[in-house]
């Protein structure tokens, strides 16, 4: 399954539902050249995610870090963790398994969930884990993930049982080998992430207005300097840079789905002039607004 765009709400939570209530897992094979925006924007979801790099290098942004992975390597995100994924070059692909923890253990009162699932989900120290092909137990998780991707494509009779079996093996390998600890320093990171989410919600709701750093910081109840530091730690970005990027993403939607002039779109998303808008658009999208409209207009 290939998606072309990540849709989020004002809190950056992904809107799309992954899988079904009776089979809460989905597998996506992503060619980045087919994404309207060229990359997977900042978002989070209640599900966990395993991503496996198929071709070229891919950059994963999470917990204030930029992680560049090569083919045959991967990464696993915990639930509710803010992340962004960008191509290193223009010709990369990956597959991702997105699953709800209830697929491992649906009963909240079960011994399995209490001992093996909840401690991982609720561990603020565990935001992600890099899966390296040269580390034996991590390689095993990558192989199980490839099996799930293959089975999901074929959908033969009994594939649901096979997928659950391999996912259980992934979880077993994780809890036996990951050595997840409970250091306090990442509590600060969680605090950073929570207030950045508040700031992002404010930006996403007010991007079309003339908002300042003071406005953004006030929304998160922090100082301007601390607002900048929190953004840098969590997103490796400044509030202003995120605002510009979000305005460009919103304008790309209008370019594809409305007949508005480019000048009016620029004003609608918060830019004062079409020249500056065109310059910023090309910086983020790699082409002019008119070229983008010609390429993706529906």
The yes-or-no verdict on residue 189 having pLDDT over 70 is: no
Calculate Rg over the CA atoms of the chain.
Answer: 20
Per-residue model confidence (pLDDT) at position 1: 67
Residue 6: inside a domain = no
Q: Which residue did the predictor score with more confidence, 189 or 205? A: 205
Residue 232: inside a domain = yes
Our count of domains for the chain comes to: 2
Same domain, 49 and 133: yes
Same domain, 82 and 210: no
Residue 87 structural domain? 25-177
Per-residue model confidence (pLDDT) at position 185: 45
Same domain, 173 and 90: yes
Q: What is the pTM of this model?
A: 0.74
The yes-or-no verdict on residue 117 having pLDDT over 70 is: yes
- What's the pLDDT tens digit per position in 70-111? 999 999 999 999 999 999 987 899 999 999 999 999 887 788
Mean pLDDT of 109-125: 87
The 3-state secondary structure of the chain, one letter per residue: CCCCCCCECCCCEECCCCCECCECEEEEEEEHHHCCCCCEEEEECCCEEEEEEEECCEEEEECCEEEEECCCCEEEECCCCCEEEEECCCCCEEEEEEECHHHCCCCCCCHHHHHHHHHHHCCCCCCEEEECCCCHHHHHHHHHHHHHHHHHHHCCCCHHHHHHHHHHHHHHHHHHHCCCCCCCHHHHHHHHHHHHHHHHHHHHHHCCCCCCHHHHHHHCCCCHHHHHHHHHHHHCCCHHHHHHHHHHHHHHHHHHHCCCCHHHHHHHCCCCCHHHHHHHHHHHHCCCHHHHHHHHCC
Per-residue model confidence (pLDDT) at position 183: 43
Domain end among 115, 147, 177? 177
Same domain, 144 and 196: no
The yes-or-no verdict on residue 194 having pLDDT over 50 is: yes
- What's the pLDDT tens digit per position in 45-65? 999 999 999 999 999 999 888
The yes-or-no verdict on residue 146 having pLDDT over 90 is: yes
Mean pLDDT of 123-146: 95
Per-residue model confidence (pLDDT) at position 259: 92
Residue 11: inside a domain = no
Per-residue model confidence (pLDDT) at position 244: 95
Kindly report the CATH number assigned to the domain that includes residue 141.
Answer: 2.60.120.280
């Amino acid at each position: 399954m290939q998606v072309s765009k990540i849709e989020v709400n004002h809190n950056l939570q992904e809107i799309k539902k992954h899988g079904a209530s009776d089979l809460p897992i989905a597998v996506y094979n992503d060619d980045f050249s087919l994404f309207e925006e060229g990359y997977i924007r900042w978002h989070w979801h209640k599900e966990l995610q395993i991503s496996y790099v198929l071709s070229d290098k891919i950059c994963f942004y999470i917990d204030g870090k930029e992680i560049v992975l090569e083919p045959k390597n991967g990464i696993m995100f915990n639930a509710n963790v803010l992340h962004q994924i960008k191509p290193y070059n223009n010709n990369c692909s990956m597959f991702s398994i997105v699953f709800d923890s209830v697929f491992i253990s649906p009963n909240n009162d079960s011994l399995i969930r209490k001992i093996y699932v909840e401690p991982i989900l609720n561990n603020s120290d565990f935001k992600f884990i890099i899966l390296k092909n040269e580390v034996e137990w991590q390689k095993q998780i990558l192989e199980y993930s490839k099996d799930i991707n293959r089975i999901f494509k074929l959908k033969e009779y009994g594939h649901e049982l096979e997928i659950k079996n391999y996912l259980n093996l992934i979880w077993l390998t994780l809890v036996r080998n990951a050595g997840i600890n409970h250091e306090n320093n990442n509590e600060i990171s969680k605090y950073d992430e929570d207030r950045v989410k508040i700031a992002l919600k404010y930006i996403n709701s007010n991007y079309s207005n003339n908002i300042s750093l003071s406005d953004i910081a006030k929304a998160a109840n922090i100082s301007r300097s601390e607002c900048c530091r929190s953004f840098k730690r969590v997103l490796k970005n400044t509030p202003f840079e995120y605002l510009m990027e979000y305005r460009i993403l919103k304008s790309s939607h209008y370019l594809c789905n409305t007949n508005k002039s480019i000048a009016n779109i620029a004003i609608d998303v918060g830019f004062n002039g079409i020249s500056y808008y065109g310059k910023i658009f090309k910086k983020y999208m790699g082409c002019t607004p008119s070229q983008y409209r010609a390429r993706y207009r529906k």
